[in-house]
């Protein structure tokens, strides 16, 4: 009787484990600005360059400038 209980307990533990190893979330909306205005300021944070204007921090990408949260 005991081996049967142990067997079913083992099966239950296997069925409760998750197979997911990585969860990827994507931002719902990304704002891309193609060109920066003339009144921007360069800010360096941890050795990385960010552009500040209009109350937001932007990061340069291939497609333009993307709003980031510091």
pLDDT for res 40: 92
Domain-located, residue 23: no
Domain-located, residue 21: no
Domain-located, residue 2: no
Domain-located, residue 4: no
pLDDT for res 69: 83
Domain-located, residue 35: yes
Domain-located, residue 36: yes
Domain-located, residue 18: no
Domain range for 57 is 29-70
State how many domains the chain has: 1
pLDDT for res 60: 92
- Per-residue pLDDT of the chain (70 residues), as tens digits, is 788 888 878 777 766 666 656 666 776 678 888 988 789 999 999 999 999 998 999 999 998 999 888 7
Is 56 strand, coil or helix?
Answer: strand
| CA 29 from centroid of its chain's CA atoms | 13
Domain-located, residue 58: yes
pLDDT for res 59: 93
Measured distance CA(66)–CA(70) in Å, rounded: 12
* 2 DSSP 8-state letter: H
Measured distance CA(68)–CA(40) in Å, rounded: 15
């Amino acid at each position: 009787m005991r081996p049967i209980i142990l067997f079913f307990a083992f099966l239950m533990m296997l069925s409760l484990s998750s197979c997911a190893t990585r969860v990827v979330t994507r931002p719902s909306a990304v704002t891309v600005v193609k060109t920066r205005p003339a009144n921007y300021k360069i800010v360096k944070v941890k050795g990385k360059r960010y552009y500040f204007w209009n109350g937001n921090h932007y990061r340069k990408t291939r497609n333009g400038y993307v709003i980031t949260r510091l």
